[in-house]
Each structure stands twice: as structure tokens, then as C-alpha cells.
Structure 1
Amino acid sequence: MVRSLKNPKKAKRKNKGSKRGDGSSSSNSTPSMPAKVWQPGVDVLEEGEELQCDPSAYNSLHAFHIGWPCLSFDVVRDSLGLVRTEFPHTIYCVTGTQAHNAPNSIGVFKISNISGKRRELLPSKTSNADTDMDSDSSDSDDDDDVENDGPKAPVFQVRKVFHEGCVNRIRAMTQKPHICASWGDTGHVQIWDVSSHLNAMAESETKISKDATTISNQTPLVKFTGHKDEGYAIDWSPLVPGRLVSGDCKNCIHLWEPASDSTWNVGDKPFVGHTASVEDLQWSPTEPFVFASSSVDKTIAIWDTRTGKSPATAIKAHETDVNVISWNRLASCMLASGSDDGTFSIRDLRMLKEGDSVVAHFQYHKHPITSIEWSPHEASTLAVTSSDNQLTIWDLSLERDEEEEAEFKAKTQEEVHAPTNLPPQLLFVHQGQKDLKELHWHTQIPGMLISTAADGFNILMPSNIESNLPPNAAAS
């Protein structure tokens, strides 16, 4: 169980990125020293060395913050196109702050003019020297850096709504993106309508300072006080608009059913089956009455709301707390889970009755898994964040091909100082954020990931994350 952001102060950051085998390299002032791949947890920086971001590893990379650290956020579905592949991009998100000595807020933000460029998977020496990646690596306290970047700098707008207590987790409804639910450390779950803020930003291209201190007061649509402790687990149904589940640290799960556009009926009697804190919840992408939960008791449970308040089945999933789960919406038989010991597993739910449902298990990370999410565009791809300050992307369909690797090395005509002991499924490693907490894929922009950490947010589009979508598939 790893959650709290322990440093509530604004932190300065430095971008460090990496490609498969890690595109961040160590270098010093000696020109003849070749750059080598940096292995987190293995390599140690020598005196005079520093990590450098390899810009060719990204199609786009930007950093930003909204003032205070945010433990959780969600991407807000917009009307700008179902599949967008051309730069510049625009995104909308909601988040919540973790300020322990200042007023907390829900942040609704829009970032437009997100620039970047498609990069070749087989870079030439000329393209390797190309360092015009538009990456906003400005200090947290300085807005002028963004302004001085010229026309390529992203335009940031944010509006803040007062929130009682820290926001443990926040989720936007897919079917009605202006409706979001927040879990507070006060023990309350609240439903908010942020449509006025989204509409105001949609109509304006004017930059609003990232350090804006104005926090508006707004009454939530619903404030549920039935949980007996704070919590982190919450999820909207992808199939039934307005259906919600919320789980707390006292092992109780409550089901929310929409009664109207602005009211919900929340069951007084909770779903109980775990013996410790409920850490995460995920609705089935195909069954409207089925959801999954994970717990500090090391188990994953599957529930059917039609058959009572006890789980339909429960399994021991890991040797330590099961922090996060993700249900694959493109392959609904697959459920991913991440644990406190740094491992994550993939299960085939069709094999639960047979006892051994694990189809993949990875021990790459050495610190707790804090977030895990399947790609909305590739059924075999998922992304993971860990307390080891790494965001990793995995493609389960990959296997090592020595002939292909030799061919790649011959085409680049360069000596690649890359480790040979990495799992073949490891597609990308991103570094540079401190105390990573949560990531989300953008469902409408293939290949885009957004992550939050103690020192702010990153938007990244790795150059080797390809989709099966045609290059001109952008929707109007």
C-alpha cells in the first residue's frame, strides 16, 4: 500500500527519458566517452556524470504542474475527434491536489498546442543529432520559460474548485465527461459537475497562469458520508452511465445507481468480502453487473451485483498488497494487477476455475507498483508506474528475435551500449519524475500517455509505440 505524496511543496524537475533498453544515457565532460544506456537500480552515476534525455526516444514530451502535487487525475473525453494522430494536440483532464497545509482543490485543465513530431524507429546519425524536441522542462515556479519557448509552447489553462481535504482519487465518467467523482481523505465520496469550467476553457485560447491561486467554491451534486473511513478505490461503469462503485480502507464497497442526472442512490449495505483495505476497483468492460476489486489482503475478488453482497470468487493474487488492477477493454478475459513488492501479473479470467490463471508475471520493478493500465488501442500493451521512479510500457506479444536485433544493429551502424538482460516484452522506460503515482493513456490520441508524480505531470508519446491505425485516421 503506497499512496501519500509526502512532499507537499512544489518541486523543481529535470527531464530524463528513456527508450527500450533505456534511452537516457550517462555522460561526462570527456568527449571520447561513449554514451551508454542507464539501468535504474543497477548503474550508479560517477562524479561528473549526469543523465541526459534522448530526444529521439519521443515523438512528444512535455512537463507541467498545477501548483501542488496531485495523487490522482483522469483524462476527460472530449469532442475534438475519436482518433487524433496529427500534431498539435489538445487534451482536457481533471485532478485533485494533496496539499496538507493549504486549501485543496479539484483542478480542471486544458492543454492545447501540444507539439511534437513523428520520429523514425530506425534513426540515422543525422536524426540522432536532431535535438529540436519541444520539451517543456521548465522549473516549477517559472511560467516565463513556457512563454519564451515561442509558438511551439503548449498553452495551459486551469480552473480550480475548492475540495474539502486531500483528493485521494478522482475519476471522470466516460459517457458524461463533465461529471467526476472524488475520494477525499475526509472519508467522503463526492460527485461534481465541472461542465461550466470545461465550457469556459473550450471557448478560450487565452493562457491562464499555472500558478493561479483563485479557487472557486462549488457545491457537489452528491456528498456520500456512508463510508466509515477514507478510501482510494473508485470506478465508473463503462457500460451503464452513472453506475459507480467506491471502496474504503475498512474493506467496504458501496454501489451507486443513478436516479437522475444529478442524484444517485447509494446502497446502505456494503459489499464485504475482503479482510483489509480495498485498494482498487474495475468494472468489467463487457458485463454491466460485474466488477473486480483488489486489496491489502493480497487477493483479487470478482463480484456480481445481482447475486448478493459477497464476491462470486476470490483468489490470492500476490504475496503482498495488491495496489492496482486494470481490466483489458480490448481483451476482456485479461486482468492485470500490480503489487507492493514491485511485481505485476496478467491473468486470464477464463482460467480462474482451473486454479492457475496467471499467463504472465514480471519482476522488473523493485519498488511498489502504483498504477497499471491497458492501452485502449493495443490489446497486448499496458503501462506501469512504480515507486522506483520509472514508467514502463510492455507489449506481451513480443519475443526476442536475435536475427532482427542483429539486423537493426547493422542498419544503425553504431555500437549500442544496451543491457542484454531486459525482458523482451519491455518496450519503453520513461524516467525523470519523482515518486510516480498514476498514469493514463489518452483514449482519443493513440500513443499518448499522461503521468503524475510528486514533481508534476508529464505528457509523453514514445516514438516506438505504434498502433494498427492508419496514419491518416484522424477523425474530425
Structure 2
Amino acid sequence: MPRNIKKVRKAKSNKAKKFEASSSSNPVVASGPAKVWQPGVDALEDGEELQFDPEAYNYLRGFSIGWSCLSFDVVRDQLGLVRSEFPHTFYGVAGTQAEKASWNYIGVFKLSNISGKKREPIPASAVDGDTDMDSDSSSDEEDEEINEDTKPILHMKKVAHAGCVNRIRSMTQKPHICATWGDTGHVQVWDLSSFLNSLAESGSATPAPKEDDIIHKHLPVKVFSGHQKEGYAIDWSPLVTGRLVSGDCNKCIHLWEPTPNSWNVDANPFVGHSASVEDLQWSPMEADVFASCSVDGTIAIWDIRKGKKPCISINAHKDDVNVISWNRFASNMIASGSDDGSFSVHDLRSIEDPLAANFKYHKKAITSIEWSPHEASSLAVTSEDHQLTIWDLSLEKDAEEEAEFREKMKEQANAPEDLPPQLLFIHQGQRDLKELHWHPQIPSMIISTAVDGFNVLMPSNIGTTIPGNTDAAMASAEP
């Protein structure tokens, strides 16, 4: 059932998790050939734990805003449309899942002083066994970990929210306007400009110890109580400022249209699914078209000019469809993630047979999926199997290249034959991952939330090339 994969366990998270590369003065030498350890397939022995390779990341850090968060969003800023140089700063909003309803809040935060490395390609000498390079790199990582100047600085404002936040989304055109879906059954719209402006003025100073603990009373600018049940699905239109859709567990979708001072919410819902609506996505190219997915296993395409029934219905998965993402560069492509651990890509140009690709790598329910805002063929996925994976769907298996690579890397372990060639990166270390977002203005940066807090990661093998039309497509707004 969808509730099992959606709700975060309501327990206070620990402090931000530190990721440190471990070293040993007495390394254990394997007696047999090296083997690739596969998450979700191979088990760890008693006393064993995984350690990440610092060379795999340009940046990796954990942080927490207090209670676990089921949902968050990146707030677009005016610090630059495309940023590639450290240090980085990013703004975000997140909704909590507190132990008591009255303890919940929206966390409006700024994470600054994100200082990592822009790594150069590995020279041939490193492949040939240049131990000096390895030791220098390890030393650099250790220096970075203990250097206070490299630690990120978190500033946060807490805004009281009635009940748990099932989902939160920041408007593309006016990022200080956010919508929340609460477990009370209400959809609320908030103007968070005063809090974001305060964070922007905070500079790089470390906040006072009690400053972030204050929960501010702040009224929403709009509350809609017309849904008969709580829900999770909500999305702002990227093309029409202020246009919103919200979907609930009672199969209903409501359209919000902006007015000069508020919103008009159509009381007559869109109805076409036979079970709970789990996610919504507006088309990146057509202002009047949006997509929905449902526990009934389908994806529906709607045109608000053509009545309250779907124009297209796709049998996407045999199990619940939890999440969808519409590709902004290839607008005929929609990705979807299911309760059975599979995710698929659907081509809307072929309605009779829209399935373009299907991947069954993950072992548990898919909880989030999102196309890269910078690369048309790249997407990222989170799952209840505690993995975040990054994929490039333009890649195909090449036997000649693989044979040549194995010859160069004779002493390295070979990847399993059934490992998908499109799989670029596997990130672990978080428990019960719930949602991820690519940063729209910082190429290769991904933020993810889980039961035990947030991670900010920048994999070293993810490119930073930006399509020529990206600048025009991005919105720059407050803070």
C-alpha cells in the first residue's frame, strides 16, 4: 500500500552524519581475486561495515534540520544560473514528520561554505600504481575533514506547520512561494520571503546556538480544505506562474488558478484513476497539460482545456506507481518508479506501446525519481533499499570497450555481468531514502532526504556540461 512507502518513521534524527574515509596501519590483503560487492545482493559479515572511496565524490556531507523529513525542495536563488566553482551555497525548504503534530514545522534553510574539489582526470600513472598519488589524496581528504574552514554552515528558520508535511514544493517563478500537503488533509500556500531574506542577510557567520530552535508563527496565504482525504501529489506549473495541481488519496485532482491576491481552486476535481493519486507533473512544454500516477498502476495525461477526464492512460507498472518525472529536454519522455522496485521510461509519441525502457535493479520500492535539469539522458532514483542511483540512459553495452578496459585493469575486480551499463553511480549511507532533487543551478549536485537526515553529494564521474538552452529555461528569483 502507498502509505507504507510514504510515511517516515516519526523519530528524532541524530546529528548530521559525518562521512570519513577510514585507513588502517595494518591493511588486510585479500587471499583471492577481488570481487565487486553488490548492494542489496551481497550481505555484510558480522562486524563488517562499508567505507566510501573519497575519490568517488567531489563533495559529500550530511546535515539535519531536526526531525526527519519526508519531502523538501531546492529554492532557486540569484547567485548564478550555472555555478561550477566552490564554495557553493544553496537554499531549501523542508517539511518535518515530528513525533507530535504540534511539533511540526517548515524548515527554511541555507547551507553555505560547501567547499569541495574539482578533480582532474586520473593520469595514467595512477592506474599503473602510483602510490604517491594515493597517499597525497588520502592526506588531502584527512586535512579537509579536520579543517574547520571547510565545514558547511547551516542557517535555518522554522515556521510552524499544523501536522506532518507529506510534500512541499517551491514555485519555479517565485521561489519564496511554497505549497505544502499536510496529513491533516489541507493544502496550504506560504509566502516565505521574509525568512529567505533573513537567511540571505545572515552572511557566513555561524548562527547562535538557540537561533535555529525558535519556531515562528506564520499564517499561510491560502488554505484549501476541499480534498476529502490527505494526499502527497502536488506540482507548480513551470510555464504559468502560480498555477498548481494537488491530488489526494481519494483519487481526486484539483486545479489551482492564481488571482491577483490569492488562488481560485476548482471544486470540481479531475477524476480518472481508480485508486490514490501519488504524484503529479506539469508538462515542461505545454502549459495546459499535466501527468499523474496512481496506486492503480497507471500514468494519466490530462489537458485542462478538455474536461475532467484523462486524454491518455498508460498501464505503466503491475504494482503501485509511486513517482513520476517529466523530462524537460525530451518532453515526450516520462520516467516512473514503482512499488516493486522497478522504474521505467515511457515515450508519449507511441501510445500503443509507450514503454521505452525498464530497469529492475532496485530491490525495494522506488520513492523518488528525477531527470537531470542539465543532461537529457540522465536521471537519479532513490529506493527503500537504502540506495540512491544515478543513470545515463544514452549508454549501451560495448563488448570491445569492456574487453579493452579489463585488459588495462587486470588487477581490478570485474563488474558483474548483469550490472546495467546505464548505471553510473551508487550512493549509500542513508537509511530509508525518501526524496532527491538535483540542484537546478549547480550541475552534478544532488540533495537527498532520509529517515536519518540529508545528504549533499557531487559524484566525481558526473559531468558538468550544460546544454546551450539551459540559461534561458531557468528562472532566477528571490532570495
Q: Do the structures match in fold with TM over 0.5?
A: yes
SS of structure 2 residue aligned to 1:382:
strand
Structure 1 residues 110 and 134: CA distance shift in structure 2, 3 A: farther
**Is the 2:366–2:384 Cα contact (8 Å) retained in structure 1?**
yes
Other-structure match for 1:20: none
* In 1, Cα distance between equivalents of 2:345 and 2:282: 17
Number of positions where the alignment pairs a residue of Structure 1 with one of Structure 2? 456
Other-structure match for 1:155: 153
**Is the 1:372–1:382 Cα contact (8 Å) retained in structure 2?**
yes
Other-structure match for 2:449: 452
What's the CA shift string for 1:122-162, capped at 9, x where partnerless? 4624444423676999xxxxxxxx9x641111111000100
What's the CA shift string for 1:12-39, capped at 9, x where partnerless? 676679xxxxxx9999965213875431
Q: Pairwise mapping of residues 280-359 of structure 1 onto structure 2 (< 5 A)?
A: 280-352=279-351, 355-359=352-356
Other-structure match for 1:140: none
Other-structure match for 1:21: none
Range with greater deviation from structure 2 (355-364 or 27-36): 27-36
Q: 1:443 aligns with which of 433, 440, 455?
A: 440
**What is the identity, as a one-letter code, of the residue corresponding to 1:201?**
L
Other-structure match for 1:424: 421
Range with greater deviation from structure 2 (309-318 or 236-245): 309-318
Structure 1 residues 321 and 133: CA distance shift in structure 2, 3 A: farther
**What is the identity, as a one-letter code, of the residue corresponding to 1:10?**
S
What's the CA shift string for 1:221-256, capped at 9, x where partnerless? 001111111000000000000000000000100000
**Is the 1:28–1:48 Cα contact (8 Å) retained in structure 2?**
no
**Is the 2:16–2:64 Cα contact (8 Å) retained in structure 1?**
no
Is 1:256 aligned to residue 253 of structure 2? no
Other-structure match for 1:190: 188
Other-structure match for 2:177: 179
SS of structure 2 residue aligned to 1:279:
strand
Q: 2:201 aligns with which of 197, 200, 203?
A: 203
* Overall identity of the aligned pairs, in %: 63
Structure 1 residues 281 and 135: CA distance shift in structure 2, 3 A: farther
Where structure 1 has 5 or more consecutive residues not aligned to the other structure, the ranges are 18-23, 138-145
**What is the identity, as a one-letter code, of the residue corresponding to 2:184?**
T
SS of structure 1 residue aligned to 2:149:
helix
Once the two structures are TM-superposed, the CA of residue 49 in structure 1 deviates from its matched residue by 2.4
Structure 1 residues 392 and 432: CA distance shift in structure 2, 3 A: same
**Is the 2:84–2:464 Cα contact (8 Å) retained in structure 1?**
no
Structure 1 residues 214 and 285: CA distance shift in structure 2, 3 A: same
**Is the 2:15–2:64 Cα contact (8 Å) retained in structure 1?**
no
Other-structure match for 1:73: 72
Is 1:376 aligned to residue 373 of structure 2? yes
* In 2, Cα distance between equivalents of 1:400 and 1:382: 18
Query: What is the RMSD computed on CA atoms of the aligned residues?
Result: 2.8
Structure 1 residues 222 and 193: CA distance shift in structure 2, 3 A: same
Range with greater deviation from structure 2 (386-395 or 6-15): 6-15
Other-structure match for 1:462: 459
* In 1, Cα distance between equivalents of 2:143 and 2:417: 32
Q: Pairwise mapping of residues 106-185 of structure 1 onto structure 2 (< 5 A)?
A: 106-122=106-122, 124=126, 125=130, 126-129=132-135, 130-131=137-138, 149-185=147-183
What's the CA shift string for 1:283-328, capped at 9, x where partnerless? 0001000000000111110000001111111121101100000000
**Is the 1:97–1:166 Cα contact (8 Å) retained in structure 2?**
yes
Other-structure match for 1:53: 52
Is 1:228 aligned to residue 237 of structure 2? no
Structure 1 residues 272 and 132: CA distance shift in structure 2, 3 A: farther
Once the two structures are TM-superposed, the CA of residue 410 in structure 1 deviates from its matched residue by 5.2
Once the two structures are TM-superposed, the CA of residue 267 in structure 1 deviates from its matched residue by 0.3
**What is the identity, as a one-letter code, of the residue corresponding to 1:116?**
G
**Is the 2:366–2:383 Cα contact (8 Å) retained in structure 1?**
yes
SS of structure 2 residue aligned to 1:419:
coil
* In 2, Cα distance between equivalents of 1:118 and 1:410: 29
What's the CA shift string for 1:202-235, capped at 9, x where partnerless? 1112223688321000010001111111000000
* In 2, Cα distance between equivalents of 1:158 and 1:103: 16
**What is the identity, as a one-letter code, of the residue corresponding to 1:443?**
P
**Is the 1:25–1:37 Cα contact (8 Å) retained in structure 2?**
no
Once the two structures are TM-superposed, the CA of residue 103 in structure 1 deviates from its matched residue by 0.8
Structure 1 residues 314 and 26: CA distance shift in structure 2, 3 A: farther
Range with greater deviation from structure 2 (61-70 or 402-411): 402-411
SS of structure 1 residue aligned to 2:113:
strand
**Is the 2:113–2:153 Cα contact (8 Å) retained in structure 1?**
yes
Where structure 2 has 5 or more consecutive residues not aligned to the other structure, the ranges are none
What's the CA shift string for 1:160-195, capped at 9, x where partnerless? 100000000000000001000000000000000111
**Is the 1:26–1:45 Cα contact (8 Å) retained in structure 2?**
no
TM-score, normalising length: structure 1: 0.90
TM-score, normalising length: structure 2: 0.89
**What is the identity, as a one-letter code, of the residue corresponding to 2:193?**
S
Structure 1 residues 128 and 253: CA distance shift in structure 2, 3 A: farther
Once the two structures are TM-superposed, the CA of residue 46 in structure 1 deviates from its matched residue by 1.9
* In 2, Cα distance between equivalents of 1:297 and 1:382: 24
* In 1, Cα distance between equivalents of 2:202 and 2:143: 22
